Structure 1
Amino acid sequence: MDEAWRLTAAAARAAIGAGRLTPEALAEACLARIAERDPLVRAFVAHEPQAVRAAARRTDPAAPLGGIPVGVKDVLDTADLPTGYGSPIYAGFRPRADAAAVAWTRAAGGVVMGKTVTTEFAVRAPGPTRNPLNLAHTPGGSSSGSAAAVADGMVPLAFGTQTAGSVIRPAAYCGIVGYKPSYGTISRAGMKVMSDSLDTIGVMARSVADCALFAGVVSGRDLGDPDRAPGRPPRIGLCRSPTWPAALPETQALWGDVTAALNRAGGAVVERELPTSFAALVDAHPAIMVAETARALGWELTTQAPLLSAGLKERHLPALAWPPERLDEARKVAQGCNLAFGPALEGLDVLVTPSAPGEAPEGIGWTGDPAFNFLWTTLRVPCVTVPAGLGPRGLPLGIQIVGRRGDDAAVLAWARWVQAALA
């Protein structure tokens, strides 16, 4: 298969199982794609083709991820590749061990293709990655390289992480599927954690089923088969959310199209907004994120400050002087909203809400606004973005499916239903 790089993980697994494809051939196809495209897209920060070939030869084709290439965001430790966390402070750093998520990927037969570009510590200065669909635009962040690599066929699967919108937004900007699981679903051992209350490991792929497969394998959970037709249509709440004023014209137009499509497909669709108390998360989320990150960067701020970006220092150094009560109050707001979220979904299976304000912004100096993501990250609930058409510049738009914490298998299944309804 000369163009095996185009296959989803599920399709590649089927081809390998049927003897039509080998792990070595799939790895070579993806290596060739990286060699052709990465000089332009710059999705990878570390990539060793000979190590990839050796891993593909060793893998068990019958394993759950047997032979499937995987991109690893460069905030997750890897024992055989440099781990730089998007910062010059860690140039050439090689951890002794893999992060747990990477270790379970390898144990399941996944082939690590390399480390993908992240913004600085997944919170600040963007890297060099470009949107493969239009190189003049950002792929989003902070999981920039992972989103770009999956969208451009360099890998069928990749890890991302999300503290505000760093899985869902770049996946939407690049026209792929992104899945941020319920908080804590995928172990963060071996991840450079910045905000302990918020940081969540997620996955990106070109299908909902691939996300369920990948996240299920590395978390040890059964996330079901989203491609299996449900026995009934979903009960959907259309939720503009408190940040609706951030929606650009293309998202406002998309909202009407999505509403019509879900109704045509037979969904039980109603308008559902969150209680007004949830608007307090607009201030609570950044307070938690900035304060926790400032403390997490203790060694870097106190011993390596000249190597930190000016933007990171300007945003986080002042938080060290905040009174403890400021963070305590923000956490109380988050806790209260977490407790209230289940009742707010009464009678519904999921909420449908925008994935991003609009198309990917032009330029790579800014990775976009997480206005439609941070709310759900703070609530620690599962979110899936699926492609939902194109904006005025021909770049992808996404729509986000959100459900109750721990209800990940159902959210993935309903996300696939929504995607089919929008097709």
Structure 2
Amino acid sequence: MTAGPAMMRLAALVEARETGRARPDHMVALSRDAIARLDGRIHAFAHVAEDPAVSAEGPLAGIAIGVKDIFDTYDQPTCYGSPAYAGNRPATDAAIVALARRAGATIIGKTVTTEFAYFEPGPTVNPHNHAHTPGGSSSGSAAAVASGMVPAAIGTQTGGSVIRPAAFCGVAGYKPSYRLLPTTGMKHFAPSLDTAGLFAASVADVAVFAERLTGRALAAGPVDASTITVGVYFCPQLDGADEAMRLALEQAAEAAVAAGFTVVAVAEPRPLMLAREAHGLIQDCEAGLACGPDLDRFSDSMSPRLREAIRSGLMVSPQDYDDARRLAKRGRGAARTLFDDVDVLLTPSAPGAAPEGLASTGDPRFNKLWTLMGTPAVNIPGFSDAAHMPLGVQAVARFGHDRTLLSVASRLEQAFAEAR
């Protein structure tokens, strides 16, 4: 893959601070300067803090973080990507924002989101080619990291809103096991699916971010490849992936073999196939319930696409919703059985590279199943298509096995780089 924009490496910044080679205020100043230079073209930020607090203490001291603008912040506007909430000033922080502040991070600004984290795009462009989408709904978070404005950012995923923009922008995007990160204080769209996620330049960087943010042992550790089985996941959606993406998945499997992993083919079990189809109905119904009050009050301020989604959700019957939830439950049982035989699955992060144009944020077909299953997933960057646009490979692991996922994915990222 040809060199893209120069990114800030979170792990390197942390090490520089801890060894006395960099001061937290200087580290934050790097991000402030980069935003001033670059965001006029990238449009990753909906709001930039005028005088952000910089802490000298804490595991994330000196790390400037972009926060997706569906998380409440008491000191910056929170507009949920919608004119309906223009100028909204919450009284308190979302739980994950408070967690970041307690760890010493600097909340440098609010990153652009699609409206209510659904499909109506914001102004953000792809840092690799401004004529292409950055993905969504965590558009600004992925683009802010990819363009080198911040070393880390927070986003969310309800379908594919962390993994897909990470793939399109060529960064690591980590969707943890459901509820590992708190979602209190975010604008919910589908509460049983909404998952907070993280972005950084590489898998190792996003793992360091996750560990220092949460206090959990999540930083990527050494891996004995001979003890790990990697499954290449074959599902009907692969027919919709483009040739470059299928080739990248092939090359990823070859690199895993070369690195000493056992690699096997895994066919999608029928319960998981059915669960994937249930995702949309669950999302729609919950969006109707969660956002119906917004429709009642702010219909004229919403995009037609969002209005229609909420109205459709309000029409879903309780019986249909319960039937879909039963399919999801059976799918989770099948997923547990699947991971009895493999440690990590590999599948495309998206059907291909970022599509040209800004009217669409891309297709979540390879992501929504794993969101519904609640399993941890991470985009591993490192491949590109003929036009030098990033392609990502998604790694997925058993629910709760986040550190295993991040450790294996970090080793795979190295293997991909060695194979190029």
Select the residue among 257, 264, 272 that pairs with 2:251.
257
- Say if 2:65 and 2:150, in contact at 8 Å, map to a contact too: yes
Which residue number corresponds to residue 19 of structure 2?
Answer: 18
Cα distance in 2 for residues equivalent to 1:146 and 1:318: 29
Select the residue among 168, 174, 181 that pairs with 2:176.
181
Question: 1:406/1:332 Cα in 2 relative to 1: closer, same or farther (>3 Å)?
Answer: same
Which residue number corresponds to residue 39 of structure 2?
Answer: 38
SS at match of 1:401: strand
Which residue number corresponds to residue 276 of structure 1?
Answer: 270
Select the residue among 182, 189, 197 that pairs with 2:192.
197
Cα distance in 2 for residues equivalent to 1:334 and 1:390: 33
Cα distance in 1 for residues equivalent to 2:7 and 2:253: 31
Give the counterpart letter for 1:34 in structure 2. I
Q: Deviations over 1:376-400 (max 9, x none)?
A: 0010000011113111211000111
Q: Deviations over 1:120-162 (max 9, x none)?
A: 0001311000001110101100000000000011000100100
Cα distance in 1 for residues equivalent to 2:167 and 2:99: 27
SS at match of 1:272: strand
SS at match of 1:159: strand
Which residue number corresponds to residue 87 of structure 1?
Answer: 82
Give the counterpart letter for 2:415 in structure 1. A
Give the counterpart letter for 2:241 in structure 1. A
Which residue number corresponds to residue 65 of structure 1?
Answer: 60
Give the counterpart letter for 1:151 in structure 2. A
Return the TM-score normalized by structure 2.
0.95
Cα distance in 1 for residues equivalent to 2:392 and 2:94: 30
Greater shift, 214-223 or 65-74, is seen at 214-223
- Say if 2:271 and 2:334, in contact at 8 Å, map to a contact too: no
Deviation beyond 4 Å, 4+ runs, structure 1: none
Cα distance in 2 for residues equivalent to 1:129 and 1:11: 27
Structure 1 residue 382 corresponds to structure 2 residue 345 = no
Note the C-alpha offset of 1:70. Answer: 0.5
Which residue number corresponds to residue 132 of structure 1?
Answer: 127
Cα distance in 1 for residues equivalent to 2:276 and 2:236: 8
Cα distance in 2 for residues equivalent to 1:138 and 1:190: 28
Cα distance in 2 for residues equivalent to 1:190 and 1:231: 40
Select the residue among 281, 306, 317 that pairs with 2:300.
306
Note the C-alpha offset of 1:294. Answer: 1.2
Note the C-alpha offset of 1:229. Answer: 4.3
Cα distance in 1 for residues equivalent to 2:225 and 2:286: 44
Select the residue among 411, 414, 417 that pairs with 2:411.
417
Select the residue among 69, 76, 100 that pairs with 1:74.
69
SS at match of 2:236: coil
Question: 1:6/1:194 Cα in 2 relative to 1: closer, same or farther (>3 Å)?
Answer: closer
- Say if 2:225 and 2:259, in contact at 8 Å, map to a contact too: no
Gaps in structure 2 of 5+ consecutive residues: 1-5
SS at match of 2:196: strand
Note the C-alpha offset of 1:227. Answer: 4.9
- Say if 1:186 and 1:218, in contact at 8 Å, map to a contact too: no
SS at match of 2:234: coil
Greater shift, 165-174 or 23-32, is seen at 23-32
Cα distance in 1 for residues equivalent to 2:315 and 2:19: 61
Matches within 5 A, 1:149-228: 149-223=144-218, 225-228=219-222
Q: Deviations over 1:11-68 (max 9, x none)?
A: 111111222111111111111111111000000001023x22xx12xx124x110111
- Say if 1:274 and 1:344, in contact at 8 Å, map to a contact too: no
Cα distance in 2 for residues equivalent to 1:66 and 1:86: 28
Which residue number corresponds to residue 324 of structure 1?
Answer: 318
- Between Structure 1 and Structure 2, how many residues are aligned? 412
Note the C-alpha offset of 1:216. Answer: 2.7
Which residue number corresponds to residue 288 of structure 2?
Answer: 294
Q: Deviations over 1:51-96 (max 9, x none)?
A: 22xx12xx124x1101111010001000000000011111011100
Cα distance in 1 for residues equivalent to 2:347 and 2:119: 26
Note the C-alpha offset of 1:178. Answer: 0.6
Gaps in structure 1 of 5+ consecutive residues: none
Note the C-alpha offset of 1:231. Answer: 6.5
Cα distance in 2 for residues equivalent to 1:185 and 1:80: 25
- State percent identity of aligned pairs: 44
Which residue number corresponds to residue 3 of structure 2?
Answer: none
Which residue number corresponds to residue 367 of structure 1?
Answer: 361
Cα distance in 2 for residues equivalent to 1:214 and 1:265: 26
